[in-house]
Chain A
């Protein structure tokens, strides 16, 4: 369970990133955060594993405050949270399996990881994670030989190898084409359902949000302006979140999603 208690973020310039957010996300939810760019989606997501610092309030994960965690404590909390980035953030020159194993470094001593001495269970964990995203046969290829969609699936495998209970995905499909977008979103949904991993995704496609989310959170100017099940998120709701009618490039199109 993730809890935000009166969380605010003010940037050094005085811009308000998050304004007094109170939020509770239960284990196993598939939450999609929507909003215009600059509305605070990314800040909200990244404050959960403290890639972004907040200026006031408290964020608790399963009852433990990550806001006050430091050093080792913080790293232990972070290793329980997988993160997926828009630009994949794989080490392009390293092999796929090494990228996945990078998700395990938080579990071992510095020396051991620097020598690359991962225990056998870790290897198995990495391989089964790759298997889950259908990337097993690419294990020893270099990451830069893969397509964008494949790279994103490797980064999902990295989060799985972490044995994360939460996955944060910051615009995971923004640099992918429509077909691979669906594959990556399907992977995320499958993992969420099969393994019960709490999944929080930032998206800007209206139809994708409605299709995959169990719950949609709308963010505007650092505040939560909508929070409810995907079925309630009508076009009117989206217009309210965006402050204007939904435009065509905010729809991915493809599947017949308007019927939902």
Chain B
């Protein structure tokens, strides 16, 4: 088989219009980026930017350790404790408030399309609503402080939790529900005996996942006055006390890392079905 002649090379299967399409997409992308860059003033950087950067790093590497604990209060530890408290309490509230939404949004439990659709819409509206704006509204109601943060997180988390849980319910094995129906159980009994036990592991896992997000959220809600470590952080930034900014940043990093670690471990156990 010593065939020396070069066989006819097939040309790549790219018809004319596909190539045109590729070029068009590319042109659109380039245009979008040109437009995006035109909006950001790269030239107007503060003259002092470099100095401040150095100062920030200096502060990060020489944190104000005294701030960690102050006898008279308003220190880092108490700020972090409050941040965690806001996240935990807020998450707990949302975990309970989510239940009706999750059930109403599940298409396998609710036959009336209009009803489940309305719930899905409400959930996506809540998800879209920025938490900071919600915090501002709650501050108007209960005044500035941690409670406003709790309410914000409690309501704002419903959007995501409701969506995740209703999707999880839609994926459940409906066999047990059928069995319960065949036993003469009514709607509520069916949900309680066949859906709830199956849904609990993912329900808890989502709650933990949301707790991780909410700790981060609670850390910044203070910037608009809704309690937690955000308020002293904003003061430190405005007052250019970089060593204090440094210690607060470290505090947030440590808190978030610990919560992520614990929550991740618990979630892994839930997935394995040990709990």
- A and B, one complex? yes
| A residues with CB within 8 A of B | 49, 51, 74-83, 85, 87-94, 102-103, 105-106, 110, 113-114, 144, 155, 158, 162, 168
Residue from A89, A110, A158 in contact with B189 in the complex, judged by beta carbons closer than 8 Å: A110
Interface assignment of B241: CB less than 8 Å from any CB of chain A: no
In chain B between 226 and 257, which residues have their CB closer than 8 angstroms to a CB of chain A? Answer: none
Residue from A90, A94, A102 in contact with B183 in the complex, judged by beta carbons closer than 8 Å: A102
In chain B between 142 and 187, which residues have their CB closer than 8 angstroms to a CB of chain A? Answer: 175-176, 178-186
Interface assignment of B263: CB less than 8 Å from any CB of chain A: no
- Complex Cα spacing A162 to B185, Å: 11
Quick one: closest B residue to A144, CB to CB?
A: B273
Quick one: closest B residue to A95, CB to CB?
A: B197
Contacts of A75 in B (CB 8 A): 184-186
User: Are A89 and B175 within 8 A (Cβ)?
Assistant: yes
User: Are B183 and A79 within 8 A (Cβ)?
Assistant: yes
Binary per-residue interface labels of chain B (175-214) against chain A in the complex, 1 for a CB within 8 Å, 0 otherwise: 1101111111110110011100110110000000000000
- Complex Cα spacing A44 to B29, Å: 60
Q: How many residues of B contact A (CB 8 A)?
A: 21
User: Are B198 and A92 within 8 A (Cβ)?
Assistant: yes
User: Are B178 and A89 within 8 A (Cβ)?
Assistant: yes
| B residues with CB within 8 A of A | 175-176, 178-186, 188-189, 192-194, 197-198, 200-201, 273
Contacts of A79 in B (CB 8 A): 183-184
17 contacts across the A-B interface (CB closer than 8 A): A49-B182, A51-B181, A74-B184, A78-B182, A78-B184, A81-B182, A85-B179, A87-B175, A88-B175, A91-B193, A102-B183, A105-B183, A106-B184, A106-B185, A113-B189, A114-B189, A162-B184
Contacts of B184 in A (CB 8 A): 74-80, 105-106, 162
Contacts of A88 in B (CB 8 A): 175
Quick one: closest B residue to A74, CB to CB?
A: B184
User: Are A83 and B185 within 8 A (Cβ)?
Assistant: no
Q: Indicate whether A158 sits within 8 Å of B179 (C-beta atoms), given known contacts A91-B193, A91-B198, A114-B192.
A: yes
Min CB distance, B135 to chain A, in Å? 36
- Complex Cα spacing A96 to B182, Å: 18
- Complex Cα spacing A155 to B188, Å: 21
User: Are A103 and B183 within 8 A (Cβ)?
Assistant: yes
Min CB distance, B203 to chain A, in Å? 12
Min CB distance, A87 to chain B, in Å? 5
Q: Indicate whether A113 sits within 8 Å of B192 (C-beta atoms), given known contacts A91-B176, A93-B201.
A: yes
Contacts of A49 in B (CB 8 A): 182
Min CB distance, B185 to chain A, in Å? 5
Residue from B193, B200, B201 in contact with A105 in the complex, judged by beta carbons closer than 8 Å: B193
- Complex Cα spacing A89 to B197, Å: 13
Q: Which of A51, A74, A81, A91 has the most CB of B within 10 A?
A: A91
Residue from A80, A93, A144, A155 in contact with B179 in the complex, judged by beta carbons closer than 8 Å: A155
Min CB distance, B176 to chain A, in Å? 5
- Complex Cα spacing A93 to B271, Å: 12
Contacts of B176 in A (CB 8 A): 89-91
Q: Indicate whether A93 sits within 8 Å of B182 (C-beta atoms), given known contacts A102-B193, A105-B189, A105-B193.
A: no
- Complex Cα spacing A78 to B193, Å: 17
Min CB distance, A51 to chain B, in Å? 6
- Complex Cα spacing A106 to B168, Å: 27
Quick one: closest A residue to B189, CB to CB?
A: A105
Min CB distance, B199 to chain A, in Å? 10
Contacts of A74 in B (CB 8 A): 184
Contacts of B179 in A (CB 8 A): 83, 85, 89-90, 102, 155, 158
Quick one: closest B residue to A92, CB to CB?
A: B198
